[in-house]
Amino acid sequence: MNEVADLFPDDHFQSTMTTIQICDGLHFFYTDSGEPTVKAESSAAYRTFIIIHGHSFHSGTFQRLFPLASSRNVRIICINRRGYPGSTPYTNDEDRIITSGTDEERRDFLHRQGADLATFVHRIIQQQDLSKEGGITLVGWSMGNIFLLATIVALVGHVDVEVKSNLLKFIKSVVLWDPPIEALGIPKLREAAIPLWDPKAPPEDRRKFFIEWAASYFQHGDLSTHDTTQLNFRTPDASKPPTITTMTPGELSSAVDFTATGGLDTAILGNDFASTLNHQMRKALFDPVITQEVWMRTPLYHLYGDACPWTIIHAAWVVRDEVRKMKAPLKEVVIEGANHFPMWDIPEVALDTLCRCL
């Protein structure tokens, strides 16, 4: 506990930090803003946001939302995924499956991750006595959407009856927040490169380039056209610095672990995993059994900023087109002028927008 707390300096991150045991040898670290202290008639019915983070940027990325939570009568719980500070690393066999497993092994791997996260939500509902009336909004941010969708898939056929029943009673909405095309297994556009896999960049520099690129602002063309020629693939807005360049060293260390998972996150987002992720996305959003048991009762939101990198904008277009084709329930919410890090640059706007996803 103390070793984990050292990663989150007190002057940057005021919250409760602890772990939940899923089974022998497996636990998840999480941060918790706590039950709202604002006294109002509805305070007992507060909403809880459970957020799953993305690549490199872990639960500390959302720390600027925490001081705002009580005034919005919400509670924020951010989980650190496997391999990130305080949570159990992947096993050697899981490493192998991620890097060189078969499609079947990778689907089973995602099912297990989803089942473990569903169990985490079940346990934290019980241990923290979360408000049932206010309910829970499950949120996946960036790459975290892979694990959010895995959790949804796990609810139908991969968790026990008690976990499934409890989550379906508590979950009031689900938010896909800035999922990039890689997280959904959507094919990359030929004319555009992503720094993590840019052949023109030296391999040792790709992660650094990717992090700054992902945290930049982009001025795109007319996004209402859904025309990929309107996307700005490479050139960030020079008038607005990338979010990470505005962070102090202490803030950066409290939000980022560049060495977490030993590059396994990058492998999951790579081409070899794409068909598995696309299969998961289609099953989670369009499978008739999941639609009947989950989406018929739970609103689904796709939230993104229109100054995000092109991979996030293009993902929103593809999902919107698929949703219309399948007539699936999904509501699109856009934060105008927001990059990939509104929770840091404009936390009030980010949290107020999340609060509308009910």
Q: Catalogue all structural domains in the chain, each as residue range(s) with its CATH number.
A: 2-188+256-355 (3.40.50.1820)
Residues 5-17: tens digit of each pLDDT: 455 444 444 566 7
Predicted confidence at residue 198, as pLDDT, reads 77
Predicted confidence at residue 11, as pLDDT, reads 46
Per-residue pLDDT of the chain (358 residues), as tens digits, is: 334 445 544 444 456 679 999 998 999 999 999 999 865 555 579 999 999 999 999 999 999 999 999 999 999 999 999 999 999 999 999 999 999 999 999 999 999 999 999 999 999 999 999 999 999 999 999 999 999 999 999 999 899 999 999 999 999 999 999 999 999 999 988 767 788 777 777 877 787 888 899 999 999 999 999 999 999 998 999 999 999 999 999 999 999 998 888 789 999 999 899 999 999 999 999 999 999 999 998 999 999 999 999 999 999 999 998 887 777 778 999 999 999 999 999 999 999 999 999 8
| Distance (Å, whole) CA 311 – CA 313 | 6
Residues 62-97: tens digit of each pLDDT: 999 999 999 999 999 999 999 999 999 999 999 999
Cα dihedral 204→210→216→219 (10° resolution): 120
328: helix, coil or strand? coil
User: Closest Cα partner for 126 from 72, 167, 156?
Assistant: 167
User: CB of 94 within 8 A of CB of 109?
Assistant: yes
Q: Which amino acid does the sequence have at 69?
A: A
Predicted confidence at residue 324, as pLDDT, reads 79
Token output for 77: 């719980």
| Distance (Å, whole) CA 36 – CA 136 | 14
Predicted confidence at residue 40, as pLDDT, reads 53
Predicted confidence at residue 197, as pLDDT, reads 78
User: CB of 219 within 8 A of CB of 313?
Assistant: no
User: CB of 161 within 8 A of CB of 125?
Assistant: no
Please tell me whether the overall predicted TM-score, pTM, comes out greater than 0.85 for this model.
yes
Q: For the chain, give percent helix, strand, coil, nearest 5.
A: 50, 15, 35
The b/e string for 67-88 (b: 16+ C-beta within 10 A; e otherwise) is: ebbbebbbbbbbbbbbbbbbbb
DSSP H helical ranges for 138-293: 144-154, 161-170, 181-184, 206-214, 249-253, 264-269, 274-286, 288-290
Token output for 47: 């909403």
Token output for 38: 């604002």
**84-87, long-range: CB < 8 A, 24+ apart:** 84/29, 84/53, 84/58, 84/59, 84/257, 84/260, 84/261, 85/4, 85/7, 85/29, 85/58, 85/257, 85/260, 86/4, 86/7, 86/17, 86/19, 86/28, 86/29, 87/19, 87/27, 87/28, 87/29
Token output for 358: 């009910």
